[in-house]
Amino acid sequence: MNFYALSDKSIEQELGQRLKALRLQKNMTQKELAEATTLSLNSIKSLESGRSKLSTLIAVLRELEALDHLNNFIPEISISPIQLAKTQGRVRKRASGDRLKPEQKDEAEW
């Protein structure tokens, strides 16, 4: 699926539908999942409709034994040995933004 072609709302709805399918595959009702995760039934319904918080998502994935899918969702970023040598062993904590980028000159200026 090309997520870049979808709106944010469409992606939220798609994730909600996938979670619902996973819940159904585990043969759990929304109420059973809510009780198992100590979340409200409305939280589960909101999650499955694409309107929820990350903490709700994590609790549901834990109960559905699907936390390992988070590595596919956003893989851990590793630092290459070359990049680590360039930064002298320091791990980057901030982005430089436009500060360190060379200024672009406007061709239309005289």
Identify the three-state secondary structure at position 96.
coil
> What count of residues does the chain have?
110
| Single-letter residue type at 25 | Q
Predicted model pTM:
0.68
Q: Are 60 and 50 in contact (CB under 8 A)?
A: no
Q: Which CATH superfamily is domain 7-73 in?
A: lambda repressor-like DNA-binding domains (1.10.260.40)
SS (H, E, C) 13-45: HHHHHHHHHHHHHCCCCHHHHHHHHCCCHHHHH
26-66 pLDDT tens trace:
999 999 999 999 999 999 999 999 898 888 999 999 999 99
Q: What is the DSSP letter of 7?
A: -
Q: Distance (Å, rounded) from C-alpha 86 to C-alpha 47? A: 43
- Please report the pLDDT score of residue 75 as a whole number: 74
Instruction: State the average pLDDT over residues 98-109.
Output: 60
Q: What is the overall mean pLDDT for the chain?
A: 83
- Please report the pLDDT score of residue 37 as a whole number: 94
Q: What is the DSSP letter of 87?
A: T
Q: Which residue has the higher pLDDT, 86 or 63?
A: 63
- Please report the pLDDT score of residue 78 as a whole number: 75
Instruction: State the average pLDDT over residues 5-15.
Output: 89
